[in-house]
Structure 1
């Protein structure tokens, strides 16, 4: 998952970037509204965290503009302002949720998890595909009840592919959504992650959870056996 942080306070921006990177997200950051608009328009994000009080273009105008440009990723608003008018203005501009500063990092993570689940149409953080279960909140994967040891890159690849079973995902889409701008974008690197995933998810060669679609990318072949979806 790739997240954009737009926050002008350097210490807080770096703290958020570090905390979310440690959670396994690919994170880009901008220090003002104009840079946030550029990045939000040019790169494919799964979620943005936007401060209202930004220099240049303020956060409310940034959110309005992103929505006008038809960018539909969830937006979590950050504000130091306690009055209800500012919260309402941010939500009416197109924000999906808000946090008032100061806040605990765990609350931020929980809000982000909830927004990503909602965007994917899921009520629960647990994705179940027969013997395979993926918990997107704890980022834990189990196979027939036994935990699997995955690297952050392997986990990110698995979670993204499993979000839409049956959909063909290109190598380009994987790198754009999952990895930050410093990631080695050689397509062979993605092939290595997928190859290692196959061995860990399917040691007996019976599940075949990830299919290669020649010339197009990869498809997650397992179907969800869970019923907790959001209508």
Structure 2
């Protein structure tokens, strides 16, 4: 069973969330204080955190930052009445994986929970060297066998996503959800346009093809022997 830790001090909000999550098959542990939530996250197996920012004994973002400093990568959805752009950016920078401003619809919370749980349990290494590719995500640079790849931010994120899944068919729906953050599939060719540009930059004429289109299914990153 998927275990979700909810850290929320407002009783009404917490009850609504717990009932909705339970109705959808999740096991929920509820804590009202940051200290209690931190202790639970450190001592129990938790698949997802839902953390309110403004808790009676502290800031929910500090709790997430503490867990990240300990190397704990449990996905975290931040809830807050503070919904400005600066607040959302700060929440993501300290290690939150998604940010949902209050008030929110429970159906949206469920969609975001589902999206976070579907993400692969991968490391967050900031330097990836696979075959001839060298990605430095902090410096936002990429090279292939020493050749600089002039990638746009979205293209770098796409390449990062593919490189972490060598040999796996990555569908357009996966890319829309995990790279663009869409919980629905828009009627557009945005994925194919971006992937076409990325493939032309990564696979130059005469080079072994690293990114392959699987007709009707998606794309594969092939690691050369």
TM-score range, shorter chain: 0.5 to 0.7
Report 1:18-167 matches (<5 A). Answer: 18-120=19-121
Distance 1:35 1:230 in 2: 43
Shift of 1:61: 0.4
Distance 1:228 1:116 in 2: 21
User: Whose RCO is larger (CA < 8 A, sep 6+)?
Assistant: 1
5+ residue gaps, structure 1: 126-136, 138-226
Shift of 1:230: 9.6
Distance 1:229 1:50 in 2: 35
Shift of 1:57: 2.5
Report 1:2-17 matches (<5 A). Answer: 2-17=3-18
Closer/same/farther in 2, CA of residues 90 and 34 from structure 1, 3 Å limit:
same
Give the secondary-structure state (helix, strand or coil) at the position aligned to 1:36: helix
Closer/same/farther in 2, CA of residues 12 and 38 from structure 1, 3 Å limit:
same
Distance 1:72 1:229 in 2: 27
Distance 1:118 1:24 in 2: 18
Closer/same/farther in 2, CA of residues 120 and 65 from structure 1, 3 Å limit:
closer
**What is the aligned partner in structure 2 of residue 167 from structure 1?**
none
Verify the 8 A CA contact 1:77 1:95 in the aligned structure 2: yes
TM-score by length of 2: 0.54
Distance 1:56 1:44 in 2: 23
Distance 1:57 1:63 in 2: 12
Larger Rg: 2
Verify the 8 A CA contact 1:51 1:77 in the aligned structure 2: yes
TM-score by length of 1: 0.52
Distance 1:105 1:230 in 2: 35
**What is the aligned partner in structure 1 of residue 155 from structure 2?**
none
Supply the RMSD in Å over aligned alpha carbons: 2.6
Give the secondary-structure state (helix, strand or coil) at the position aligned to 2:79: strand
The superposition leaves residues 90-121 of structure 1 with CA deviations (integer Å, 9 ceiling, x where unpaired) of: 11110001101111111000001111111357
Give the secondary-structure state (helix, strand or coil) at the position aligned to 1:71: coil
Verify the 8 A CA contact 1:52 1:58 in the aligned structure 2: yes
Verify the 8 A CA contact 1:76 1:99 in the aligned structure 2: yes
Distance 1:16 1:41 in 2: 22
Distance 1:49 1:229 in 2: 32
Give the secondary-structure state (helix, strand or coil) at the position aligned to 1:62: helix
